Amino acid sequence: MMTSQLQLVDLCAITIERGPRYDTGPGPLGRRVSAEAASVVVTGERLSGQLAGVAAADWATTADDGLTLVDSRMTIGTHDGALILITYTGRINDISKFPAEPVYVSLNFATGDPRYRWLVGIQAVAKGSMSSDGNSLEYLVYELR
């Protein structure tokens, strides 16, 4: 029988300053809320940059029991001029406990820049927490190995 353990290798921190929120109300699939990002800053030894342009948002769907599914997309410009699309999906177990409840996400990356091609081939995970003032969300991001 083969046994293996997952390793979590530091990748970066992503800090998202919250922008406007749009609550479209309850529907057949749950309550839908979209939230724009006013700014995004990525810091880390292997990946750093900031939001490129203004297109960055989170789309959340909340079921009646409070489980919230997160779907986010953003493009960052790295410190050395590359553009990287970051997409992530995940969950908040009980939205009624948010912001105390963490956000768990799985991230994927897309870029045509050969310096960052390695990002396309990794699987990353993160745990997010809201700032005490509720204005920003910080994800600590790890590469799975």
pLDDT at 33 over 90: yes
Mean pLDDT of all residues in the chain? 95
The percent of residues in the chain predicted with pLDDT above 70, rounded, is 99
- Residue 80 CB neighbour total at 10 angstroms: 10
Residue 68 lies in a domain: yes
pLDDT of residue 46: 97
pLDDT digits (tens, 9 = 90+) for 34-46: 999 999 999 999 9
Biggest CA–CA distance in the chain, Å, is 51
Residue 4 lies in a domain: no
Domain count, the chain: 1
Cα–Cα distances (Å) from 142 to 13, 30, 54, in that order, read 9, 30, 25
pLDDT at 10 over 90: yes
pLDDT at 1 over 70: no
60 within 8 A of 68, measured Cβ to Cβ? yes
Residue 52 lies in a domain: yes
pLDDT of residue 101: 87
pLDDT digits (tens, 9 = 90+) for 60-105: 999 999 999 999 999 999 999 999 999 999 999 988 888 888 999 9
Q: What are phi and psi of 120, to 5 degrees?
A: -65, -30
Chain center to CA of 68: 14
Q: What is the CATH number of the domain that holds 30?
A: 2.40.160.20
State the residue range of the domain holding 85.
Answer: 12-140
75 within 8 A of 51, measured Cβ to Cβ? yes
pLDDT digits (tens, 9 = 90+) for 56-65: 999 999 999 9
Query: What's this model's pTM, rounded to 2 decimal places?
Result: 0.93
Chain center to CA of 19: 15
Pick from 3-7, 118-122, 134-138 the range whose average pLDDT is largest.
Answer: 118-122
